[in-house]
Each structure stands twice: as C-alpha cells, then as structure tokens.
Amino acid sequence: MNYFNRLVLSFVPLIPRIFVRRIAGKYVAGETKEEALATVKSLNDQGFSATIDILGEHVKSAERATEVTQSYAQLFNEIQKRNLDCNVSIKPTHVGMELSEHLFAENLSLLLAKAKEHDNFLRIDMENSPYTDLTIAAYQSCLTTYQKVGTVFQAYLHRTEKDLLQLFSPHFNFRLCKGIYREDPNIAIQERREISNNFLNLIRIAFKNECYVGIATHDLALLDNIYQLIDEMQIHSSKFEFQVLYGVPMSGWLEKHLEKGYKVRVYVPFGPEWYDYSIRRLKENPNIVGYVMGNFFHKK
C-alpha cells in the first residue's frame, strides 16, 4: 500500500457523510427495495444473475431480527413476482444469530420455507470467526429440509480445507471468497499471495469433488489462474459461477466471463445502513477516494 493510501485510511473516520454517500452510490443499489429490484432487473437485462442483500448485521433486538427476516421474505415474493434471476444472501447476525438460538432457527426456517415456496436459493454469508461453527451448523440443519441452500467459506482461514472436505456431497453449493474480516494469525493466513494460493488450491479441491462453487473474487491475476484451471481440469460451466460485488471495476472481465458462457452473479446490497458498508469498501480500496473526488468536483 502506498503512502497516499495509508494516509487516506487514517482519515477514513473523518470523511464527511455526504462524501461517503457519493461512494455508496457506486456500491449500494439504493436505500429501498424498489431501487434494489430495479438494479437487479437492469443487471439481468445485461446477462448477469444477482443475489440481493439487505445491509446490516449484529441486530440488537429480536423485533429488529424479525423485521429483517420479514423484509427478506418479501424480497423472495417480489423476485418471483417480477420473474428476476436473483437469489438472496443473508448475514446470520442480521437475523438474530447473536441474540438467541431459538430466534435464529425460527427466522432461518421461515426464510428457507420462502425459498422453497418460490423454488429459489438462500445463501448464508460467512461473518467473522466467532460465527464460523454456528454458521456451518445452521447450514447443515437447513440442508435436512431444503437442498437449495448454501453458505460461504473464506480462503484466509486455515480450517477451510478441512471444513470443505467434511461437507462435500452432490448437493454441496458454496461461495469461496478471500475473507473480509481481520482475523488472528493463529487462525488465518495474513499474506495476500498466500491467501490467493490457498484460494486456487480450494477451487481445485472443489472442482475435483464435483460440487458447485461460486467463485467470488475481483483479483484479476487469480481469475487468470482459475481460467487455466478450468481448462486444465476441463470443468463444465454448469459446476461454477463467478461472483462479484456490485460496482467493483473488473476491467472487462465480466464481459469476458459472459462471452465464455460462464455465469456471473452480482451481489447487490441495499438499505438505509449504507454508511458502514461504504466505509468498508473504502478501507479495502483507498484509490476510490481519488476517483470519487474527481467525479464529485467535476459534477459540481
């Protein structure tokens, strides 16, 4: 990371809200369900699949967790009604995992029933390491009632290979990402190149085990290696999809995926809680400040 970026990072908490809102505009599909669904429709029209996420996590009350669950249930209805190519991604602590086992199980089973009602798919995102075991257990319990459900594994965790080897089955569908949280060196790889190497290794293992994998990365060098692996192992395009976050520049790779006949799913976050999400995006890529500043002053 260069000096300017380090400097930007240290000032992130001081960036004015209006400026962060500018950034959010690029990475968040609005504050309302209508805006998000319109974004999904436009992505579908361009040939992309989508997964929709209501921004937020770590809810503090059962009422709020239930409200969020109801909003997700309505999203499933709207996706069906509008005939969109879109599934749903939830964060466990957004629907009550931290508050009570019973509440979380109840909310999850409601969402699973909704997914089943509409023959849709539910993805359970992976949060930081205190929730890894609980999330895997929740996923396994969902599988006993409905198969179109999946969770996420993080390439930076040392445990991931072992977790995957225990879970492989004909219906196993997972998203692989590098992992976004700060984790202790005891449990997580810290070096970027090593994380990428492990990512590639885990994709190889997934391909070998013939499950379905959502390859979630914007790392173009890694994508190059994954393309080679697909060719080398002659993996059919029905066994994987590429996934990206809405708004992250991909230098023509999304079009390249589509031309190859590969499925691309865009993760579309929305909701009033855009602030924290945008700050996270900014911390991941301080170069954004430069681009946004350019647009900001240009438009004024």
Ligand X SMILES: Cc1cc2nc3c(=O)[nH]c(=O)nc-3n(C[C@H](O)[C@H](O)[C@H](O)COP(=O)(O)OP(=O)(O)OC[C@H]3O[C@@H](n4cnc5c(N)ncnc54)[C@H](O)[C@@H]3O)c2cc1C
Closest distance of CB 221 from ligand X, Å: 9
Our answer to whether residue 175 is catalytic in this structure is: yes
Buried b (16+ CB within 10 A) or exposed e, 211-243: bbbbbbbbeeebbebbeeebeeeebeeeebbbb
Which of 62/248 has CB closer to ligand X?
248
Nearest-approach distance from CB 126 to ligand X, in angstroms: 4
Residue 129 burial by CB count (10 A; 0-12/13-18/19+): exposed, middle or buried? middle
Active-site residue, selected from the candidate residues 22, 53, 123, 175 = 175
Binding site for ligand X (CB under 6 A): 125-126, 152, 154, 175, 177-181, 216-219, 243-245, 248, 267, 281, 284-285
What's the closest the beta carbon of residue 214 comes to ligand X, in angstroms? 7
Q: How far is the CB of 63 from ligand X (least distance, A)?
A: 25
Residue among 62 and 285 whose Cβ is closer to ligand X: 285
Nearest distance, CB of residue 243 and ligand X, angstroms: 4
Question: Quick one: 147 or 285, whose CB is closer to ligand X?
Answer: 285
Of the residues 53, 125, 265, 281, which is catalytic? 125
82 among known catalytic residues: no
Least distance in angstroms from the C-beta of 123 to ligand X: 8
Report d(CA 193, CA 198) in Å as an integer: 9
* Residue among 61 and 237 whose Cβ is closer to ligand X: 237
Q: Closer CB to ligand X, residue 38 or residue 245?
A: 245
Q: Between 107 and 217, name the residue whose CB sits nearer to ligand X.
A: 217
- Catalytic residue set: 125, 175
